[in-house]
Amino acid sequence: MRKSITLLTLAFSLSLGASAQTIYDAANLTDKDLNGTARFVGMGGAMGALGGDISTINTNPAGIGIYRSNDAVVSFGLSSYGTESNYMGNSQSVDKFRGDFNNAGFVLSTHVSNVSALRYLNFAFNYQRVKSFYKNTQIQGNLGDFSQSIYMANQAYGITNWSNAYNNPDIGWLSALGYDGYLITDLIAQGELDQLIASNPGFSNYEPYMVNGVQAKNSNGELLFRTPGDYVGMYTGADGTFRSQERGGIDEFDFNLSANLNDRVYLGLTIGAYAVNYSKYSIYGEDYGSGEWYELQSWSKLEGAGFDLKFGAIFRPIATSPLRIGLAIHTPTFYNLDLKTSAILDSDVWNNQDQENESGVAPDAIGQYTIDTYDKVGGDMVRKFRLQTPWTYNVSLGYTVGKNLALGAEFEYKDYSSVKFEDDESSLMDAYEFENSTTDMLKGVSTIKLGAEYKVIPEFALRLGYNYRSSIFDDNAYKNLPINSIQTDTDFSNTEALSNYTLGIGYRGSSFYADLAYKYTTYNAKFYPFDMFDGERLVQATKLNNTRSQVLLTLGMRF
């Protein structure tokens, strides 16, 4: 974050019940990348039933039971990230390169007996980067009849007292920033209610809607009325710009115990520990022309830890057949997380409040305002919460043809709509009732993995793979911020189906081995800087095409 957190801010943040999370945060932490050793990636991750690779430790733990020797391995990568956007014919692209440290681990294999049922007992540890948040996005285009200020006004509904708004658990930061920056207005606060009562005695508790400062009328020319505390966004027709940088990832540390029974049944248990480090900086602005504009900068950082358990089995149903069947189940990951956030709004717009105070006389100059939540609350705001991800179910098949060809297929399922938010304090377990009521916008997600390895000669192998993940979000999913949310970044992307195309090559010596793989990831998404509904989605989506090219190198030794 921009500055260090004060003890006063930390203590105060723990006592508040303001909301901070959405289904997009939950999906971000639940989704995992295809990553690991170059052999595993080169085969599309379809090794759950084949086993014998350390990356199976977090898909099917029984895969470690296939080992009959010790193993030490490390993997590195180089990635190119690209995002192409198209909004109403306005195309932009952003590309970045960066290095990756993918995994490091070891397997200790203990031969128990050749005659008892238990043949081998293995222990393994592996570190792996299971999720990269690295992404840059840049969008620009005309918003037409819509504006984020209208979204701010909707968030302000019913608020009549803005005193100490940024420390008030009933007031959201987005509406408070819009109010302080004169992007939204309540006509009662401007004294127009008295005029309305004089001309319309029957509407003493109401006031008219406003569109760009003009009283709105229906098709018959009649005034449209609204209730007090219902705010109005003052501006439309803007050129909107959005830029964001997302960084960080999820690191997984797996501890595995597995067994080989009669060389036909393999059982495994993995205990997984997770470390989350995610940061996002976004800047959103609207330019109305004639020197009027505003710009909203948002910072957020999510840190925390979690754990899960994974159980797996591999068995050969027919002793003389090379067919293997794998089954695995993963418990939810139980996260304890801290969200730190702050925002700055700069606006340069006509101060309608001053104009009213001057009895209709236009102000001499445009008013410029800067509101910094860091100054308002004395530091970054902190929210502690818990997140429970879905259960994972995995079934896989493996088949070998002689000593030259290995084939793998795998299916995995997670019901993302079963994610659950909880407050960090047990006495406030219902604090996230609103957030949990929106998880039906997430879907059950299926992942299909296919892979093949062919040994040209005993020392060299070629690999090919495909990995498909269905879409996470319902077509009508949107970022539904509670009215008391401290989040100020209203943007979201509804990602569609994702595909990974992989290929690789490997060398096996008497003890040393090296593998090289290439992975190309592509998926489309519909991006919205904010969203508005009136029986149907009103804001037009920006079409995004996200790609990632990754080269992985794995070096290892078996002994």
Per the domain annotation, does 467 fall within a domain? yes
85/80 Cα distance (integer angstroms): 17
Helix (H) or strand (E) holding 77: strand 71-87
Are 163 and 331 in contact by the 8 Å Cβ rule? The answer is no
Instruction: Determine the pLDDT at residue 220.
Output: 58
Per the domain annotation, does 501 fall within a domain? yes
% of the chain residues with pLDDT over 90: 57
Task: Decide if pLDDT at 282 tops 50.
Answer: yes
Per the domain annotation, does 491 fall within a domain? yes
Of 450, 545, 533, 542, whose CA–CA distance to 496 is shortest? 545
What mean pLDDT, rounded, does the chain reach?
84
Tally of domains within the chain: 2
pLDDT class of 395 with cuts at 50, 70, 90: very high
Amino acid occupying residue 213: G
Instruction: Determine the pLDDT at residue 518.
Output: 97
Asked if 247 and 219 sit in the same domain, the reply is: no
Which residue range is the domain that position 251 belongs to? 7-184+239-558
Instruction: Determine the pLDDT at residue 5.
Output: 30
3-state class (DSSP) for residue 115: coil
Region for residue 440 given its phi and psi (left: phi exceeds 0; alpha: psi -120 to 50; beta: otherwise): alpha
Tokens of 42: 């080169």
Beta carbons within 10 angstroms of residue 432's beta carbon? 21
Per the domain annotation, does 389 fall within a domain? yes
pLDDT class of 464 with cuts at 50, 70, 90: very high
Asked if 278 and 216 sit in the same domain, the reply is: no
pLDDT class of 14 with cuts at 50, 70, 90: very low
160/108 Cα distance (integer angstroms): 66
Q: Give the burial class of 287: count Cβ atoms within 10 A of its Cβ; 0-12 exposed, 13-18 middle, 19 or more buried.
A: middle
Beta carbons within 10 angstroms of residue 353's beta carbon? 15
Per the domain annotation, does 424 fall within a domain? yes
Asked if 219 and 362 sit in the same domain, the reply is: no
Region for residue 298 given its phi and psi (left: phi exceeds 0; alpha: psi -120 to 50; beta: otherwise): beta
pLDDT class of 425 with cuts at 50, 70, 90: low
The average pLDDT across 74-94 equals 75
Asked if 193 and 161 sit in the same domain, the reply is: no
159/130 Cα distance (integer angstroms): 43
Are 556 and 72 in contact by the 8 Å Cβ rule? The answer is yes
Asked if 120 and 208 sit in the same domain, the reply is: no
